[in-house]
Amino acid sequence: MPDRLLLRRPDDWHLHLRDGAMMQAVLPHSAARFGRALVMPNLVPPVRTAADARAYRQRILAALPHDTRFAPFMTLYLTEDTDPDEVALAHASGAALAVKLYPAGATTNSHAGVRDLDAVRPVLERMAEIGMPLCIHGEATDPDVDIFDREAVFIDRVLRPLRRRVPDLRIVLEHVTTQDGVDFVRDTPRHLAATITAHHLVLNRNALLAGGIRPHLYCNPVAKRERHRLALVEAAVSGDRRFFLGTDSAPHPDSAKLSPCGCAGLFTAPVALSVCAAIFEAARQLPRLEAFVSLNGAAFYGMAPSADRIALVRGEAWSPPAAIPCGEDRVTVFDPGFPLHWRVEESA
């Protein structure tokens, strides 16, 4: 087993950076490790227009530590009022790389999302024409659907029909969490990929609920049965170009996580790459790590891999900070429950 891996600098194709003080607190942790990130638009109010995306991107650039080179790519939040021309303009001008579909009510700040996909059909058709990807939070929102079935039901009720109606639309099924999702991507010959988070490679629902409820492991989509986690690991380490890392690092202050109605989201940016390396090592597939974290996503988005490289080194177990400060509050860092041996070498 090697104890040093030289990789193209990884990219994070699904990241929540928030805004203001929270962004200041979390951004350095992504920028120190990743070369590029696709930044989610679920701010309050959401990032809906090219102008919103440009302004948000400027705030991110202004908050970046001076010694880092980190390129944020932006997404637009799809609403039933989204104008196809606005989306096409945002794409053509480089203001936004993709559009994000939140089914209304599916997750954090999704209330302005989409209730009726027919209402956004003209936008989706325009995106198919211009080759702009749609990033989908793939969970059914019907309250009758069991929370552990929401991804599988969404695939059957929404994603399959959408693929038939707009077959040329390029789609990313974000943070896939089930065997059903993996199979759907594998069985679809074109225009479909999926991001996988580091935490869903580690967690099953027992980790969240057995022996006590662990609010810091609660996210959307919720972790599923072990057999689904194993399917995700198999997809990630397979080298299949349609699967790539999107951390979905989603920071919330501890005060919001540790409440009677705690919110969904895990802050994983400081440890996501180390966790992925551990998973690939355990699967004896370290040579395929670079494809998952650095190559496949860029290829899907039509970009060259990062020009620079990082070294991941294996050594003594290290402990990330348990939490980082944010104003008066703190944000807990994801703890995978096992020692981390791989880390990004500082000045590679």
Q: Which residues are catalytic?
A: 248
Residue 99: name its binding partner from Zn ion, ligand DOR, none (Cβ under 5 to 8 Å by kind). none
Exactly one of 219, 223, 245, 275 binds ligand DOR (CB under 6 A); which one?
219
Residue 7 vs 40, nearer CB to ligand DOR: 40
CB of 150 to ligand DOR, least distance (A): 12
In the bound state with ligand DOR, the residue whose beta carbon lies nearer, of 176 and 312, is: 176
Distance CA 94, CA 75 (A): 10
d(CA 181, CA 132): 22
Helix or strand (DSSP H, E) at 72? strand 71-77
CB atoms within 10 A of CB 339: 11
* Length of the chain as a residue count: 348
Judged by beta carbon distances under 5 to 8 A according to partner kind, the member of Zn ion, ligand DOR, none in contact with residue 220 is ligand DOR
Contact call for residue 16 and ligand DOR (CB under 6 A): yes
Reduced to 3 states (helix: H, G, I; strand: E, B; else coil), residue 193 is strand
Per-residue mark of binding to ligand DOR, 41-70 (x: CB under 6 A): -x----------------------------
Report, in Å, the least distance between residue 262 CB and ligand DOR: 11
Identity (one letter) of the amino acid at 170?
R
| Least Å from the CB of residue 250 to Zn ion | 5
250 versus 344: smaller Cβ distance to ligand DOR: 250
Q: Which residue has the tokens 């104003």?
A: 327
- Selected binder of ligand DOR within 117, 264, 311, 348 (CB under 6 A): 264
> Which among 184, 182, 209, 208 has a CA at the least distance from the CA of 196?
182
Task: Specify burial of residue 188 (Cβ count, 10 A radius: 0-12, 13-18, 19+).
Answer: middle
What is the closest distance, in whole angstroms, from the C-beta atom of residue 252 to ligand DOR in the complex?
Answer: 6
Task: Tell me whether residue 7 or residue 219 sits nearer to ligand DOR (CB atom).
Answer: 219
Rounded CA separation 14/269 (Å): 11
Kindly tell me the burial class for residue 329, based on how many C-beta atoms sit within 10 Å of its own C-beta (0-12, 13-18, 19 or more).
Answer: middle
Q: How many alpha carbons lie under 13 Å from residue 64 in its C-beta half-sphere?
A: 21
Instruction: Tell me the two tokens of residue 125.
Output: 């058709």
Pick from 49, 107, 197, 249: which binds ligand DOR (CB under 6 A)? 107
Q: Does 220 bind ligand DOR (CB under 6 A)?
A: yes
| Binding stretches for Zn ion (CB under 5 A) | 248
Cβ count near 122 (within 10 Å): 14
Distance between CA atoms of 152 and 138, rounded to whole angstroms?
9
Please choose which of Zn ion, ligand DOR, none residue 265 contacts, taking the beta carbon within 5 to 8 angstroms, the exact cut-off set by kind. ligand DOR
- Letter for the amino acid at 29? H
Q: Considering the complex, state which of residue 4 and residue 111 has its C-beta at the smaller distance from ligand DOR.
A: 111
Closest CA to 190 of 221, 169, 216: 169
103 touching ligand DOR, by CB under 6 A: no
Identity of the residue, 252 or 314, whose beta carbon is nearer to ligand DOR in the bound complex: 252
Phi, psi of 253 (to 5 degrees): -65, 145
Does residue 265 belong to the site contacting ligand DOR (CB under 6 A)?
Answer: yes
Nearest approach in angstroms of CB 162 to Zn ion is 19
145 binds ligand DOR per the rule CB under 6 A: no
Q: Residue 107 binds which one of Zn ion, ligand DOR, none, with CB within 5 to 8 A depending on kind?
A: ligand DOR
Compute the least distance from the CB of residue 220 to ligand DOR, in Å.
4
What the block records as the tokens of 116 is 């009726």
Distance of closest approach, residue 312 Cβ to ligand DOR, in angstroms: 26
Residues that bind ligand DOR (CB under 6 A): 16, 42, 107-108, 137, 219-220, 250, 264-265
